[in-house]
Amino acid sequence: MVERSGCSHAVTSGAARILVCGLGPGAYGDVTAATAETLHSGRRVFLRTERHPTASLAAGAQTFDEIYDRGADLPSVYRSIADALVQAAEQLGEVVYAVPGSPLVLERSVRHLLDRAADSAGDLEVDVLPAVSFLDAAWARLAIDPVEASVRLIDGHTFSRDAAGERGPLLVAHAHAPWVLSDIKLAIDAGPEQRVIVLQALGTPEESIVEIGWPDLDRAIEPDHLTSLFLPEVHAPVAMELQRSVELMRRLRVDCPWDQVQTHASLRSHLLEETYEVLEALDHMAATEASGAEPDGDDYALLEEELGDLWFQVLFHAELASEAGQFTVADVARTLHDKLVDRHPHVFGGEPTPETADLVVAWEARKRDEKGRASAMDGLPPGLPALSLADKVLRKAERSGRAADPAWVSGALSAGVSAGASELEVGLYLLAVVEQVRGLGGEPESALRTAVRHGTERFRQAESSGDRWVLG
């Protein structure tokens, strides 16, 4: 049986009863007389959390903060709270459950209780007392009629999904932690023009209402359980699919045994493998183009899939860093954005657009200054395959204005290599080959891959026909 109004305390014979009341948005004056009376009626009181300004009205009550602290995720926390309350009601006959705000506004534990009562065939009664919610305080401070303005209430935990396609106005609750703000910020690709009003501790002496720019959302405020956001309008669509992938990654870390034990080190081989598979998809497209045809839907579908696998690796490393308290995937995106803006002053800074060759030189100079490197060769990834590393070294030398001497390249290629040549002599010859290919506008890594694919196909043909393997 579910009772949703009234304050009758009669209990159906044999039924366990839970009386749910709300502690209001935070000010003592917003706590209803019915709630105050219930908290001091002598019944056993349970608090969802004591981290609320008016929780002191139930001093000495048992709280569920310990379940929050050890819970793997919020859905399991709310289910555990409901289980504990039902068990207590069955043992004691009747208990009181006090929650912040109003019991029927974004209170998942209360929703679990109501569902349990509906399925109990009369063995459990849940009576919900009306209460003032944080919504009432928000409408008053914002001076708007939510019905007239068609405001939609969104849970910060599911913002990317529930706000998808919405243009506002939106009131976002449960914006209680930095990671929630980062997820919300990541969901909207917006700049400073996106207004957001931050509402904190409404109705209390610590009340704060400030408007900030969207880029500062996860940097300018310290969120807590009394933090909400108001977006009068949304200038950019919510990036639902992107955020869903972030939420999926977080879920896998909680529920999948394999994902749980991975580290930055253990993922190195997977990152390398996925990178090469992206290159393979690009090679496949290049082969299609080399045959005189245009890449089709299947070519692009393969590239899409492989880029998704590579994106998963980025998400995984960002999630591990987030768990270590270092950075989130939103920070990765912001860092990339800021870096690219800084390195494109001709696009974002009003500088004249130089020639392409000068752009490349300027890019390398900015990168070197950014990272405080003394040499253009600092920061080279030593783990690159040798051919790619050679290409990168020669490219960096050219961009710094110190390209390889053409006379040396010509001489090295003419001399070739002879029997008994040292490893260094062979290597310098190969380096000269790479430079020559670059000078002709080719990509050494791509060219060699193309030749290897060609040779492999010729080998298969020779196997089938019984002929000699002819590479040319």
**Domain residue extents for the chain:** 2-132, 136-241, 262-342
CA dist 129 to 49, 102, 120, Å?
Answer: 18, 9, 20
Dump strand ranges (E) for 221-328. 227-231
Identify which of 83, 162, 174, 167 has the alpha carbon closest to the alpha carbon of residue 133. 174
First to last CA, the chain: 83
- How much of the chain exceeds pLDDT 90, in percent? 37
Structure tokens at 301: 């579908």
Mean pLDDT of the chain: 86
**Coil/strand/helix, residue 376:** coil
* C-alpha to C-alpha distance for 91 and 113, rounded to whole angstroms: 16
d(CA 331, CA 179): 11
Total Cβ atoms within 10 A of residue 444: 19
Q: Summarize pLDDT for 450-465 with one digit per residue, the tens.
A: 888 888 888 888 888 8
pLDDT for 269 equals 87
Tokens of 154: 């969104």
Buried residues in 273-298 as b, exposed as e (16+ CB within 10 A):
ebeebbeebbbbbbbeeeeeeebeee
Please give the pLDDT value at position 131. Answer: 94
pTM: 0.53
One fold for both 136-241 and 262-342?
Answer: no
Q: Quick check: 46 and 96 in contact, CB under 8 A? A: yes
pLDDT tier for residue 232 given thresholds of 50, 70 and 90: very high
Let me know how long the chain is: 472
Q: How confident is the model at residue 5 (pLDDT cuts 50, 70, 90)?
A: very low
Query: What is the rounded average pLDDT of the residues 313-340?
Result: 90
What pLDDT, on the 0 to 100 scale, is given for residue 13? 52
Determine the pLDDT at residue 259. Answer: 95
At the topology level, CATH places domain 2-132 in: Cobalt-precorrin-4 Transmethylase; domain 1 (3.40.1010)
Tell me what pLDDT residue 1 has.
Answer: 43
Pick the closest to residue 281 from 300, 297, 303, 301 (CA basis). 303
Please check the confidence at residue 325 and state whether its pLDDT lies above 50: yes
pLDDT of residue 72: 66
pLDDT above 90 (res 274):
yes
Q: Decide which of 447 and 148 is more confident.
A: 148
- pLDDT-above-70 percentage for the chain: 93
The number of C-alpha atoms within 13 Å of 26 and in the hemisphere containing its C-beta is 21
Beta-carbon contacts of residue 326 (< 8 Å; ≥ 6 apart)? none
- 208 pLDDT tier (thresholds 50, 70, 90): very high
User: What is the b/e burial string over 410-443, where b = at least 16 CB atoms within 10 angstroms of the residue's CB?
Assistant: eebeeeeeeeeeeeeeeebebbbbbbbbbeeeee
Q: Evaluate if residue 126 carries a pLDDT over 70.
A: yes
Q: DSSP string of 105-117?
A: SS-HHHHHHHHHH
Judge: domain 262-342, CATH 1.10.287.1080. Answer: yes
Which CATH number, 2.40.50.140, 3.30.430.20, 3.30.950.10, 3.40.50.300, labels domain 136-241?
Answer: 3.30.950.10
260, 178 Cβ separation under 8 angstroms: no
